[in-house]
A and B are shown apart, each in its own frame.
Chain A
Amino acid sequence: MNQETAFWILSVVAVLGALVAVRQRNLVHGVFALLLFFAALAGLFLLLMAEFIAAAQVLVYIGAVGILLLFAIMLTERVTGEGKRIFSRGWLGGALASFAVLGALLLPPLRATVLPAHAQPVDPSVRALGEQLMNPYVVTLEVLALLLTAALIGAVATAQGTAKRKGAAK
């Protein structure tokens, strides 16, 4: 019963946070709504017994991605977006397309398939996760490390590229 209540509260917070983030005119407020969405999702992961994923969600999304987005917003446009259209010209088509995708996702599977209703008991230890990460998934882990390094170097090079060239031209 308690779990049920927590699930409903968290899902309402997640949906509202995502909606506000997507539709907010002020970009900084939008990012804060997005952080609320990330936090609600971390709570949902906890409810689903994925503790380590919840912790990673808080660290990576709320900690890193949120701050990165805030910096990107401060480095680019005026944040409030007053007096401008915030939606693109083809917004009606986009909205219709996303509702169509929602319908396509929801309708046919819910009518056809029978889903397991009860969860198996699960041991939420991080130890098992770490052992699996070392035994069958070690190559994936290494590739991921390489990808992160490459992405960081690429990000720095991309963001700096024009400035460097300007300096060289002088």
Chain B
Amino acid sequence: MTLDHCLILSAVLFAIGLLGAFTRRNAVVVLFSIEIMLNAANLNLIAYWRFSENPAQLSGPLFTLFTIAVAAAEVAVGLALVIAVYRHFKTVDLEKLDTLSEE
């Protein structure tokens, strides 16, 4: 397990998340694809910290902690938006949600 392996894994996971966000129609699936991308970024932060010159500085885990908290806030707001949109349009299909106005 070297830094290269972690970075390659992280890149692959990020690409999978991007694939989901680009290709799926359901808004909830797009949201959790974004979560996959955020997690891949977290793995990157932790891996760079682990293999850094001075791991006692702990900036990697701290940044990851902040990312996790922000991601949790993001998913809460995102799901609330999805539910509000569903109330209004009776669908969460992103191809049918092409307007911001009432009609």
Write the residues of chain A forming the contact surface with B, with a CB cutoff of 8 angstroms: 3-4, 7, 11, 14-15, 18-19, 21-23, 27, 30-31, 34, 37-38, 41, 44-45, 47-50, 52-53, 56-57, 60-61, 64-65, 68-69, 71-73, 75-77, 81, 85-91, 93-95, 97-99, 101-102, 105-106, 109-110, 115-120, 122-123, 128-129, 132-133, 137, 140, 144, 147-148, 151-152, 154-156, 158-159, 161-163
With contact pairs A95-B22, A102-B12, A115-B3 given, residues A50 and B61 touching in the complex (Cβ less than 8 Å): yes
Q: Enumerate chain A residues within 8 angstroms of B2, measured Cβ to Cβ.
A: 115, 117
With contact pairs A72-B82, A87-B25, A159-B83 given, residues A22 and B3 touching in the complex (Cβ less than 8 Å): no
A-B contacts, CB under 8 A, total: 240
Give which listed residue, B28, B52, B71, contacts A120 with CB less than 8 A: B52
A77 to B38, CA, bound (A): 25
Q: Enumerate chain B residues within 8 angstroms of A137, measured Cβ to Cβ.
A: 62
With contact pairs A48-B50, A119-B50, A120-B55 given, residues A69 and B62 touching in the complex (Cβ less than 8 Å): no
A148 to B76, CA, bound (A): 10
A117 to B51, CA, bound (A): 7
Q: Enumerate chain A residues within 8 angstroms of B88, measured Cβ to Cβ.
A: 162
With contact pairs A18-B36, A64-B72, A115-B51 given, residues A88 and B80 touching in the complex (Cβ less than 8 Å): no
Q: Enumerate chain A residues within 8 angstroms of B7, measured Cβ to Cβ.
A: 109, 115
A162 to B80, CA, bound (A): 12
Is the CB–CB distance between B53 and A120 below 8 Å? yes
Give which listed residue, B64, B75, B82, contacts A76 with CB less than 8 A: B82
Is the CB–CB distance between A41 and B76 below 8 Å? no
Is the CB–CB distance between B15 and A41 below 8 Å? no
Is the CB–CB distance between A88 and B68 below 8 Å? no
With contact pairs A15-B9, A34-B36, A155-B79 given, residues A132 and B62 touching in the complex (Cβ less than 8 Å): yes
Q: Can you offer 21 A-B residue contacts whose CB atoms are under 8 A?
A: A22-B19, A22-B24, A44-B46, A48-B46, A48-B49, A56-B65, A64-B72, A68-B75, A72-B28, A72-B83, A76-B92, A77-B28, A88-B95, A117-B51, A119-B55, A120-B52, A122-B56, A151-B73, A158-B83, A158-B84, A159-B84
Give which listed residue, A15, A37, A89, A101, contacts B39 with CB less than 8 A: A37
Binary contact track B41-69/A, C-beta < 8 Å → 1, others 0: 01100110111111110101110111011
Q: Enumerate chain A residues within 8 angstroms of B77, measured Cβ to Cβ.
A: 151, 154-155, 158
With contact pairs A22-B17, A75-B83, A147-B73 given, residues A98 and B22 touching in the complex (Cβ less than 8 Å): yes
